[in-house]
Amino acid sequence: MNLRSLIFASVLLAATTPVAADSAIEHIVVTATRRAVDSSDVSASVSTADAESVTAAKLATDALRDVAGVHIQQTTPGQGAAVIRGLKGSAVLHLVDGMRLSNAMFRTAPTPWFALVPTTSVERLEVIRGTPASLYGSEAVGGVVQSVSRLPDFESSQFDYAGDVIATFDSAELQKSIRATLDFGTRQLSSSVSAEYLTTGDRRVGGGERIGPSGYTSKGLRAVVRGRPTDERRWFVDLQFLEQPETPRVDELVAGYGQTEPASSEFLFAPNQRLFAHVQHDLIASSGIDWKIDAAWQRIVDDRITRNFNADDRRVENNRSDLYGLTVNASSDWGSLSWIAGVDLYHDEVRSTRNAINVVDGTFSTLAPRFPDGSTILQAGLFGNIVWHLADRHSLSAGLRLSDVRIDLPDGTTIEPSRLSGDLGWIFDVTETLQLVANAGAGFRAPNIADLGTLGDRPGNRFNIPNTSLDAESVTHGDLGLRHRSARWQFEIMLFALRYTDRVVSVSTGVLTPDGRDIVQSVNAASSSIHGIEASLEAELTDRLSMQAVLNYARGEQRIGTVDEAADRVPPLNGNLVLRYNLADRWQFEAWLRAAARQDRLSNRDVGDPRIDPNGTAGWASLGASGSWLSDNGWQVTISADNLTDKQYRTHGSGIDAPGRNLTATIRRRW
C-alpha cells in the first residue's frame, strides 16, 4: 500500500470514530501545532495580528506589516506578499484554517494571492517564523502564514443576532470601502454572512505625485454555517469569494530604475479571483483522542491582459488552479505526553491558455500558455509530532513527516520528489514568566508548475523558458530565544540561522528575445545562508498607556554557480514603535513610528531589477497618529494620519513607492 492509499484508508477510519467535546484555551495559537494550545506551550517563533488590525487594513496582508519577523512587499497596491526571515513566495506556506492557499502556480518571487482573503473573514492572522517541517511539509521553508477565520458565536439557545458595518475613506489612494457582517442563530446552529467592497484611485506618494495607473477595485462575499448540535459534536461549512476585476501591475506600466520607458503598455490582472469552500468536523472520541477532519476546494484565477511597450499584439491569458484538499488529524494528552498525528492529501490541477489580438488589424492567434495546460500535482503527507513535559521546567517536542509528491505534465513528464523531514523543539521555564526556547528543522520545497513550466515575460525585462528537470530544494533551520510573559508586559527575542540549498533560481541563458528581453530559465543552482534577530515588546506602562515595539534584522549571502553575493531581496534592519492611550473608556489615541535602514547589500538580480535602486534602497522613517471615539450604543469614529512628514520612500523590493501623507476616516457601527 503506497502513502496515498494509506491516507484514504485513514480518512475512512476517522469518519467512523465516536466523538465528544473539546475545551476552550486562552492565548490560543493553532498554526504552530495544528491544534489549539496556549502560546506559552509552543517552542516555535509565532507572531499574530488580531481582527482589529485586519479591519484597519485594506488587504489582509497589510495587517502583517507591524508584527515581528515579517516584511511586506508590494508590487502593486492591490497585492501584498510576506517576506519571512528573508524568504518569500513559494518558500513561505500560506494557509486558511489549516488548508493550503499555496497552489501549483505560486512563484518563487512574491506572490499576490493572500490578498484575496476577505478581511471580513479573519479572526486573526498567525505567522510561524521558521521551518515546522513535520506538520506542513513542502513550502514551509521560511515560515507559515495562516488566516484563522471568524465563526459566529452565541452562548444561548435563544435566537440572537449581531451586526458590524464599517465605512472607510482615505486621501492617499482615494479609498472608498464598506464592509458589513451579520451573525444570527443560536449556540447550537448559527450563521454569518458578510460582504465587502473597496475601490481606490491612483496612489499619491510622498511629495504629492500620483503614480498611475495604480487604482483597483475589490469585492468579496463570505457565508458560514456553524453547528454545535450537542456538547459532543461541532462543525462548520465556510464559503469565501474575493475578486479584483482589474488590477494594474504598476512596475510594468511605469519606468523603473535603469529604464527610460516602461516594460509594458498594458498589464492588468483581469481578474485576480479566489473561491474557497471548506467543511470541517472537529471532535473528541470517547477514547480521549481529538479528531479533526477537513475537506476543502479552492480555485484561484490569475487572468492577465498584457502588451509589451508599443507592441501591436495584446496577449490575453486565462490561468486557473483548482486545489482539492483533505486532512485528518488525531491528537491527545497522555499524562506528561501530548501528541498529534495525521494525514493530508492535496490534488492541484492547472488550466492555462493564451491568445494574441493585434490591436492594429484585429487578427487573432493562439500562443503557448503561461503554464502547461492540464498539469497536476498530487501531494500526500503522513506526519506525527510529540511533546514531552519533563519534570516541571523542561518540555521537548519532536516530529517527523513523510511527504510523497507527484507532478505530471501534459508531455508525459513525471517528477516524484518525495522527502522525509522533521523538527525538534525545546522549552525551559527559567521562572514562572521567563522561558528559554530553541528549535531546529530540516525541510524541503518540491518544485511546482510555476517552477517547471512557466513560459513568458517576467519582471525585470526577462522572458522565462521551461525546465522540466528540477529537483526539490532543502533547508536546515534553527533558532534560539528568550520569552517573557506577565500580566503587564511581554517580550520575545529570537536569534535564527538557516541554510537553503538546491534553490531554484532564474538564470540568464545569454540570449535575448526579438523585443530585447533576457531569456532566463529556472535551475537548481543556488544556495543561501541567512541569519538574523527578531525582537518584540508589549507593555502596559500605566492603566491607560501601553506600548508595542518590533525590531527585525536579517543578513544573507548566496552562491549561484561559482558567484558569491548578497542574498536576493533580504529586507534591511526595520521596526516600529506604537503608543496607545485610553481616556475614560470612550477615547483611544495612538501614535506610531515605522522605520527601515538603508539596504545596499544587493544581489546581481536585485541590481538589475527595475523595482530596486541599483545604488541601494534608501532608509526611511514614517510617523502617524490616530484618535477614536466610542459611544455606548456601538458607534465608533476613527480619524488617522499616516506619513505625517509626507516622506517619499519605498519599502525594499516593492514596485511602487509607499503612500504619502494619508488622512483616513472610518465610521463603524456594531450591535
pLDDT digit string (tens) for 604-650? 989 999 999 999 999 999 999 999 999 999 999 999 999 999 999 99
Per-residue DSSP letter, 10: H
Q: Is the pLDDT of residue 8 over 70?
A: no
Per-residue DSSP letter, 20: B
Give the DSSP H or E segment for 329. Answer: strand 313-334
Q: Is the pLDDT of residue 181 over 80?
A: yes
Q: What is the pLDDT of residue 456?
A: 78
Q: What is the pLDDT of residue 159?
A: 97
Give 154-160 contacts, CB < 8 A, sequence gap 24+: 154/183, 154/185, 154/186, 154/187, 154/190, 155/187, 156/186, 156/187, 157/186, 157/187, 157/188, 158/186, 159/184, 159/185, 159/186, 160/184, 160/185, 160/186
C-alpha span between 42 and 425 (Å, rounded): 9
Q: Is the pLDDT of residue 330 over 80?
A: yes
Q: Is the pLDDT of residue 19 over 80?
A: no
Range with the poorest average pLDDT among 4-13, 277-286, 412-421: 4-13
Q: CA nearest 218: which of 375, 99, 330, 61?
A: 61
C-alpha span between 156 and 159 (Å, rounded): 8
C-alpha span between 211 and 357 (Å, rounded): 28
- How sure is the predictor about 27, in pLDDT bands with cuts at 50, 70 and 90? low
Average pLDDT over residues 359-374: 94
Domains, the chain, in order of start with CATH, read 3-670 (2.40.170.20)
Q: CA nearest 179: which of 236, 232, 228, 218?
A: 218
Question: What DSSP assignment string belongs to 156-197?
Answer: SSS-EEEEEEEEEEESSS--EEEEEEEEEE-SSEEEEEEEEE
Q: Is 205:171 a contact under the CB 8 Å cutoff?
A: no
C-alpha span between 411 and 401 (Å, rounded): 31
Q: What is the pLDDT of residue 129?
A: 94
> What dihedral do alpha carbons 330, 128, 659, 242 form, nearest 10°?
-20
Distances (CA, A) of 163 to 137, 179, 221, 477, 508: 39, 11, 15, 44, 55
Q: Is 608 helix (H, G, I), strand (E, B) or coil?
A: helix
Q: What is the pLDDT of residue 7?
A: 44
Q: What is the pLDDT of residue 666?
A: 98
Q: Is 210:204 a contact under the CB 8 Å cutoff?
A: yes
Q: Which residues pair with 400 in a beta bridge?
A: 384, 422
Q: Is the pLDDT of residue 9 over 60?
A: no
Q: How many helices (H) and strands (E) are present in the chain, helices listed first? A: 6, 39
Percent of the chain at pLDDT above 90?
79
Q: CA nearest 291: which of 318, 317, 265, 328?
A: 328
Q: What is the pLDDT of residue 13?
A: 36
Pairing of strands 313-334, 290-308: antiparallel
536: which 3 cell numbers? 518584540
C-alpha span between 203 and 216 (Å, rounded): 10
Average pLDDT over residues 51-79: 92
Q: Is 377:410 a contact under the CB 8 Å cutoff?
A: no
How much of the chain is in helix, strand and coil states, percent to nearest 5?
Answer: 10, 60, 35
Candidate ranges 11-20, 65-74, 273-282, 287-296; pick with highest mean pLDDT: 273-282
Average pLDDT over residues 272-296: 93
Q: Is the pLDDT of residue 25 over 50?
A: no
As a whole number, the mean pLDDT across the chain is: 92
Q: Is 449:105 a contact under the CB 8 Å cutoff?
A: yes
Distances (CA, A) of 175 to 57, 171, 660: 11, 7, 14
pLDDT digits (tens, 9 = 90+) for 495-516: 999 999 999 888 888 888 888 8
Q: What is the CA radius of gyration of the chain?
A: 24
Per-residue DSSP letter, 384: E
Q: Is the pLDDT of residue 20 over 50?
A: no
**Beta-carbon neighbour count of residue 517 at 10 Å?**
19
Q: CA nearest 415: which of 490, 467, 342?
A: 467
Predicted structure pTM score: 0.92
174 CB-side CA count, 13 A = 13
Pairing of strands 160-170, 143-149: unpaired
Q: Is 44:439 a contact under the CB 8 Å cutoff?
A: yes
Higher model confidence: residue 230 or residue 596?
A: 596
Q: What is the pLDDT of residue 2?
A: 54
Q: CA nearest 387: which of 38, 48, 17?
A: 38
Per-residue DSSP letter, 7: H
Dihedral over Cα of 27, 30, 36, 39: its sign: negative
pLDDT digits (tens, 9 = 90+) for 547-576: 999 999 999 999 998 899 999 999 999 999
